[in-house]
């Protein structure tokens, strides 16, 4: 070995791509074909019988988000219309999944929503998608092929999610579809909060909402209790009443990140640039890729200027909501082992 240690730090390169397709078509169909084998394995990870049947899943989507049915049908047709894809795309009662994330609203002259998305590079879809599926322009980071983990619409409404750090699983939708629905059909924080409060979620999440006027809220949603709505400018990976799942809290350093955000929002109250740079270093920036909680990107949404910027320690990708130029970024993530040790 030439005197060198046999231990080395592996890296993984992931391609992040931006795609613009106003209506569902061949670009989305290509995304589905590429990602479907992995999503199919995940969807069947507990056996087909553990997933809700097609008619029940579609009925739930129709009952809670009827305005999405036309888009759902268009996307389903592009998949070929198979039973498993039809059930998967409703995102109704999917398998449980965990992620990290830190997010904050900066309340300066031009309010911003800044967030770190912490997850596994091996499970990251890596797609920024611009659409106009229901007459309103929406740009966001995709999950489950048509859901969003963060995004903004042409009215300046911006949403971002973080996992709520609770084990409870119930009957409801995967939260990325709730964010999609709110961005497709809401214009203000008040409207988005109403949507998040009435649609059932299958796990606990914290959703931070900011609109063009600067109005903001964080909504703590869960499958087993009523939503909590707070005028809170930041959140990490536990809910308002404190840490419940201590193993997850330690693995994600949720309390340490919360304390850092509280300090930064005071310290950098007049300096958005310094707040944003703080997201690119520990403790907000995480290298816990082995456990599936490493930072995959930082994104900054400016609702008043309708601008978006994705950031990494050595790279950046600015874009306008109305002018998403298709392209790719190749991002290397360190310390990624051959097989993940993700917490269950």
pLDDT in tens, 166-190: 999 999 999 999 999 999 999 999 9
Q: Which two tokens stand for residue 190?
A: 């008040």
4 within domain boundaries: no
339 within domain boundaries: no
Radius of gyration over alpha carbons of the chain, in Å?
Answer: 19
3-state DSSP: the chain helix, strand, coil percent, rounded to 5?
A: 30, 30, 40
310 within domain boundaries: yes
Residues 6+ apart with CB under 8 A from 21: 27, 28, 129, 130, 131
CB 182 within 8 A of CB 132: no
> Which tens digits make up the pLDDT trace of 195-234?
999 999 999 999 999 999 999 999 999 999 999 999 999 9
341 within domain boundaries: no
CB 278 within 8 A of CB 329: no
Residues 6+ apart with CB under 8 A from 6: none
What's the sign of the alpha-carbon dihedral 297, 298, 303, 304?
negative
Max Cα distance, the chain (Å): 65
For 282, list phi and psi in degrees, rounded to 5: -60, 150
125 within domain boundaries: yes
CB 282 within 8 A of CB 111: no
Per-residue pLDDT, 253:
94
Per-residue pLDDT, 336:
65
49 within domain boundaries: yes
Q: Which two tokens stand for residue 289?
A: 């890729």
Per-residue pLDDT, 286:
95
b/e per residue 114-148 (b: at least 16 CB within 10 A): bbbbbbbbbebbbbbbbbebeebbbbbbbbbbbbb
For 186, list phi and psi in degrees, rounded to 5: -120, 155
Per-residue pLDDT, 334:
83
b/e per residue 230-244 (b: at least 16 CB within 10 A): eebbbbbbbbeeebe
309 within domain boundaries: yes
CB 85 within 8 A of CB 53: no
**Residue 35 maps to which CATH number?**
3.60.60.10
First and final C-alpha spacing in the chain: 36
Show the low-confidence residues of the chain (pLDDT under 50): 1-8, 339-344
**Range(s) of the domain holding residue 273:** 11-334
- β-strands 112-119, 327-334 pairing: unpaired
Dist CA 116 CA 281 (whole Å): 11
Q: How many domains does the chain have?
A: 1
Per-residue pLDDT, 7:
40
Per-residue pLDDT, 181:
98
6 within domain boundaries: no
Q: Which long-range CB contacts under 8 A does 41-46 form with residues at least 24 apart?
A: 42/95, 42/97, 43/84, 43/87, 43/88, 43/94, 43/95, 44/84, 45/95, 46/95
DSSP 102-162: EEEEE-SSS-EEEEEEEE-GGG---EEEEE-TTSS-EEEEEETTTEEEEEEETT--EEEEE
Per-residue pLDDT, 100:
86
């Amino acid at each position: 070995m030439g005197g060198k240690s046999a231990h080395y730090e592996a890296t993984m390169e992931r391609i992040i791509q931006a795609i613009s397709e106003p209506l569902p078509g061949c670009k989305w169909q290509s995304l589905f074909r590429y990602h479907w084998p992995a999503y199919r394995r995940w969807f069947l990870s507990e056996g087909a019988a553990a997933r809700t049947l097609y008619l029940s899943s579609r009925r739930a989507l129709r009952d809670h988000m009827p305005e999405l049915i036309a888009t759902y049908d268009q996307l389903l047709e592009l998949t070929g219309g198979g039973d498993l894809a039809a059930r998967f795309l409703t995102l109704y009662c999917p398998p449980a999944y965990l992620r990290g994330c830190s997010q904050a609203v900066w309340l300066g002259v031009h309010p911003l929503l800044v967030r770190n998305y912490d997850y596994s590079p091996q499970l990251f879809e890596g797609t920024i998608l611009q659409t106009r599926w229901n007459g309103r322009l929406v740009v966001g980071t995709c999950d489950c092929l048509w859901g969003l983990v963060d995004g903004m619409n042409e009215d300046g409404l911006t949403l971002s999610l973080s996992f709520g750090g609770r084990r409870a699983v119930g009957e409801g939708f995967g939260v990325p579809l709730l964010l999609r629905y709110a961005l497709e059909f809401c214009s203000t924080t008040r409207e988005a909060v109403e949507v998040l409060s009435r649609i059932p979620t299958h796990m606990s999440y914290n959703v931070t909402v900011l609109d063009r006027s600067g109005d903001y809220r964080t909504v703590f949603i869960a499958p087993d209790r009523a939503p909590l709505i707070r005028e809170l400018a930041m959140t990490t990976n536990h809910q308002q009443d404190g840490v419940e799942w201590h193993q997850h809290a330690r693995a994600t350093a949720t309390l340490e990140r919360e304390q850092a955000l509280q300090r930064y929002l005071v310290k950098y109250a007049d300096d958005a640039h310094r707040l944003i740079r703080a997201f690119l270093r520990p403790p907000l920036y995480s290298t816990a890729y082995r456990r599936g909680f490493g930072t995959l990107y930082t994104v900054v949404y400016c609702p008043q200027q309708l601008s978006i910027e994705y950031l990494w320690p050595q790279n950046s990708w600015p874009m306008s909501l109305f002018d998403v130029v298709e392209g790719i970024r190749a991002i290397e993530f360190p310390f990624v082992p051959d097989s993940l040790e993700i917490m269950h």
